Amino acid sequence: MLLTEDKIKSALLQLNNWKLLDNRIEKKFVFTDFLESIQFINAVATIAETMQHHPEWSNVYNKVTVTLTTHDAGGITQKDITLAEKMDEIENSI
Report which secondary-structure segment, H or E, holds 52: none
Mean pLDDT in residue range 51-77:
98
> How far is Cα 3 from Cα 77, in angstroms, rounded to an integer?
5
Confidence of residue 74 (pLDDT cuts 50, 70, 90): very high
Q: Which residue in 67, 78, 65 sits closest to 8, CA to CA? A: 78
Domains in the chain: boundaries: 5-93
Angstrom CA distances, 4 to 14, 38, 75, stand at 16, 33, 10
Question: Which CATH architecture describes the domain 5-93?
Answer: 2-Layer Sandwich (3.30)
The SS3 call for residue 41 is helix
Q: pLDDT of 18-54, one tens digit each?
A: 999 999 999 999 999 999 999 999 999 999 999 999 9
The reply to whether the predicted model has a pTM over 0.85 is yes
